[in-house]
Chain A
Amino acid sequence: MTASLPPFAVFFAGALLAGLCRGHLRAGLMLLIPVAGAVNMLALEPGQFAEVALLDYRLVLLRVDTLSLLFGYLFHLAAFLAILFALQVRDTMQQLASLLYAGSALGAVFAGDFITLFVFWELLAVTSVFLIWARRTPRAFRAGLRYLAIQVTSGLILLAGIIARVQETGWIDFDFIGLTGLAAWLIFIAFGIKCAFPFLHNWLTDGYPEGTPTGTVFLSAFTTKVAVYALARAFPGTELLVYIGATMTMFPIFFAVIENDLRRVLAYSMINQIGFMVCGIGLGTAMALNGAVSHAFNDVIFKGLLFMSMGAVLHRTGKINGSELGGLYKSMPWTAGFCIVGAASISAFPLFSGFVSKSMVMVAALDEGHPVVWLALLFASAGVFHHAGIKIPFFAFFAHDAGIRTREAPWNMLLAMGLAAAVCVFNGVYPWVLYGLLPFEVDYHPYDFTHVLTQMQLLVFSALAFCWLKLSGLYPPELPGVNIDAEWLYRRLFPRALARLTEVFIPVDRRLRRLAVVRGERFVAGVFRTHGPQGALARTWPTGSTVLWVALLLGAYLLIYYV
């Protein structure tokens, strides 16, 4: 069918329409946009293309295959849930930014060439930053600026990579590249920044916790998953990704344990989950890639659910630090329940969504002969249960009662969380619908007795460890503070170094300038002495004396001539 529009067009046109109306009408229209988008997308068939010509290049605005369709379904679902969650928001900036942001993500996953990808890559950055700025605090403004600078840099590196690739090959097709040559490396790094590779990850932990309660739900769904999609498209089977992914699963869990801002805990835990996907892409087998993209699908929903529950807490209490919360299950029992479903899903409890997707990556890691990586992933699996599965619900809703009494979240937030929780349970109980959407045929059965038993052993004994540490007083208390991470380089070292440099340079500069001024003044004074009104060279002489001097010179000349 050629009647279908590229999916991003539905959201962009919807944003235009939404901008023209107000209030309930706009809210209702926004909710309809992902529905209309889904109807439009269901008519798409694999193998379909839509192209436009630009100068010498043909731009593929729409490339439909199983991989792009999977992310297409996912982003429509995520956009619907997030819009429902944000239904009570009456802020034009946030509302329009969220629609354009979701549209840009769809544009990127259906892009068939690098120029189209680049355009949507940058649009993702400039539309999403408004979801942080919409908090309208100086702190959020500065965090947004840092976020935008890093995101746009990723785009610039991507552009440099694309130009180098056109120089090398003449091709702009967005397909398998493999990690050879300058162009490939530049594109790899650009993807890596958006994918939150180690040392390139702090835009995520810095920016996302500063977004609005509803904005962060949108943020958590799109940017990093577009990057995962891009890696799966261009670099499957790149061994380096196995180790990068394993590192990503490991280091954030330590930060998550000591972090106090519960949305920042979720941001760290997000890097940990992306690590599993990156690892799967690096392994590159059918099983591993299926695991990576199905885990991306599940992660968007359960991480969205967790960010929603924390957003609801922030919305109702104005607080998000673990040290200030506790006992909220008394006022917000439904939110607490949905949060626990999200926590069980991210922890990969049997019957919840994480269980049916993460394990494919782990099985593939052993199959491909990476036992050390497998042990790291297993460590991270226990760790994610610890910091996301237990810590988030425990410190927000249970622990010691902080004495906060508030109301349950608004109905639309509860409905959005309820639907997300239902998807988590559905995918966990009946994974075959999700498996049917995967790029490769699935030859994997998550529910065999050994898998259920071992996973339960891992999780229950992790919970036991938590209880023991908590009861024996070994568990570190929630404390307000900042934990130094790689961002220290550009938030502390570089500004400090620059300040120090100017501190040293300014006196030197001042002395040099003063010296120049003094020298200049002295020169001017010298010139003034000879050429000024009283100067020897500026005096007027009588004509007679000049004639005398000329006669003298001529006499001297004659004398020399005769001699």
Chain B
Amino acid sequence: MSDDRKHVFDHPRNVKRVLRTLFGVSALLLLIDLVYQRHVQHAMESIFGFYAVYGFVACVLLVLIAKEMRKLLMRGEDYYDDR
């Protein structure tokens, strides 16, 4: 295996392509939500873009809370060994 070979994500252009696809798919999924009448089990599901917003907010909350937890819970790697 040669060390200096260029791989697919070594080109920033390809990373940008992935991101642009993701943005496009996101927009498309929201657009479908606008026109398609989903069947729902619970009233809150019928809010426009419920799943999209919930997924986004959940992940942002998850990471931000976890980041705060790190301040409280994180110790050195030898924390349990230093007896």
Tell me whether A and B are bound partners. Answer: yes
A458 near B54 (CB under 8 angstroms)?
yes
Chain B hits for A257, CB < 8 A: 62-63, 66
A462 near B56 (CB under 8 angstroms)?
yes
- Pick the contact of A460: B29, B57, B58 (CB < 8 A): B29
Residue from the set B19, B22, B33 with the largest chain A CB neighbour count within 10 Å: B22
Given A379-B58, A464-B22, A467-B22: A457 in contact with B52 (beta carbons within 8 A): yes
0/1 string, A322-357, CB within 8 A of B gives 1:
000000011100000000000000000000000000
B56 near A461 (CB under 8 angstroms)?
yes
Residue from the set B5, B54, B55, B79 with the largest chain A CB neighbour count within 10 Å: B55
Chain B hits for A366, CB < 8 A: 41-42
A510 within 8 A of B: no
8 Å CB interface, B1-30 against A: 1, 3, 5, 7, 9-10, 19, 22-23, 25-26, 29-30
B39 CB to nearest A CB, Å: 5
- The contact size tier of chain B is 35 or more
A456 near B67 (CB under 8 angstroms)?
no
Chain A hits for B66, CB < 8 A: 254-255, 257-258, 476
The residue on B at minimum CB distance from A476 is B67
Given A454-B51, A465-B56, A469-B60: A481 in contact with B76 (beta carbons within 8 A): yes
Question: How many residues belonging to A are interface residues under a CB distance threshold of 8 Å?
Answer: 56
Given A254-B69, A329-B7, A454-B38: A495 in contact with B83 (beta carbons within 8 A): yes
A461 to B50, alpha carbons, bound, how many Å? 11
- Pick the contact of B55: A331, A461, A479 (CB < 8 A): A461
A287 CB to nearest B CB, Å: 12
- Pick the contact of B77: A382, A481, A495 (CB < 8 A): A481
A539 within 8 A of B: no
A386 within 8 A of B: yes
A531 within 8 A of B: no
A246 to B33, alpha carbons, bound, how many Å? 28
Given A254-B62, A407-B1: A458 in contact with B55 (beta carbons within 8 A): yes
The residue on B at minimum CB distance from A256 is B66
A528 within 8 A of B: no
A150 CB to nearest B CB, Å: 16
- Pick the contact of A483: B30, B33, B74 (CB < 8 A): B74
Chain A hits for B23, CB < 8 A: 464
Chain A hits for B70, CB < 8 A: 258, 476, 479, 483
Chain A hits for B19, CB < 8 A: 467
A499 to B83, alpha carbons, bound, how many Å? 10
A474 within 8 A of B: yes
Chain A hits for B3, CB < 8 A: 405
A491 near B80 (CB under 8 angstroms)?
yes
Residue from the set B1, B39, B59 with the largest chain A CB neighbour count within 10 Å: B59
0/1 string, A439-474, CB within 8 A of B gives 1:
000000000011001111111111111111100001
A495 to B62, alpha carbons, bound, how many Å? 33
A481 to B9, alpha carbons, bound, how many Å? 29
A378 near B25 (CB under 8 angstroms)?
no
A112 within 8 A of B: no
A330 to B3, alpha carbons, bound, how many Å? 10
Chain B hits for A457, CB < 8 A: 29-30, 33, 49, 51-52, 55
B54 near A382 (CB under 8 angstroms)?
yes
A536 within 8 A of B: no
B22 near A475 (CB under 8 angstroms)?
no
A480 CB to nearest B CB, Å: 5
A479 CB to nearest B CB, Å: 7
A363 within 8 A of B: yes
Chain A hits for B58, CB < 8 A: 378-379, 382-383, 462, 465
Chain B hits for A46, CB < 8 A: none
A203 CB to nearest B CB, Å: 14
A453 near B1 (CB under 8 angstroms)?
no
B54 CB to nearest A CB, Å: 6
A474 to B68, alpha carbons, bound, how many Å? 12
The residue on A at minimum CB distance from B66 is A257
The residue on A at minimum CB distance from B60 is A465
A253 to B74, alpha carbons, bound, how many Å? 16
The residue on B at minimum CB distance from A464 is B26
Chain B hits for A49, CB < 8 A: none
A526 within 8 A of B: no
8 Å CB interface, A244-291 against B: 253-255, 257-258
A463 to B40, alpha carbons, bound, how many Å? 24
A367 within 8 A of B: yes
B25 CB to nearest A CB, Å: 6
A371 within 8 A of B: yes
B25 near A460 (CB under 8 angstroms)?
yes
A12 within 8 A of B: no
8 Å CB interface, A369-386 against B: 371, 374, 378-379, 382-383, 386
B56 near A258 (CB under 8 angstroms)?
no
A405 near B1 (CB under 8 angstroms)?
yes
A214 CB to nearest B CB, Å: 24
A347 CB to nearest B CB, Å: 11
0/1 string, A490-526, CB within 8 A of B gives 1:
0110010001000000000000000000000000000
Sample (23) of A-B pairs whose CB atoms are under 8 Å apart = A139-B81, A257-B66, A329-B9, A366-B41, A386-B63, A398-B9, A407-B1, A453-B29, A453-B32, A453-B38, A454-B50, A457-B33, A460-B25, A461-B26, A461-B55, A461-B56, A465-B55, A467-B22, A468-B60, A482-B76, A483-B75, A484-B72, A485-B73
Counting from the closest, the 9 A-B pairs by CB-CB distance are: A465-B59, A257-B66, A458-B55, A457-B51, A461-B55, A382-B58, A461-B56, A457-B52, A461-B52
Q: A383-B58, A481-B77 are in contact. List 18 more A-B contacts (CB 8 A).
A: A258-B69, A329-B7, A330-B1, A371-B42, A378-B54, A382-B62, A401-B10, A405-B1, A450-B38, A456-B29, A460-B52, A461-B29, A461-B55, A462-B55, A476-B70, A479-B70, A484-B74, A484-B79
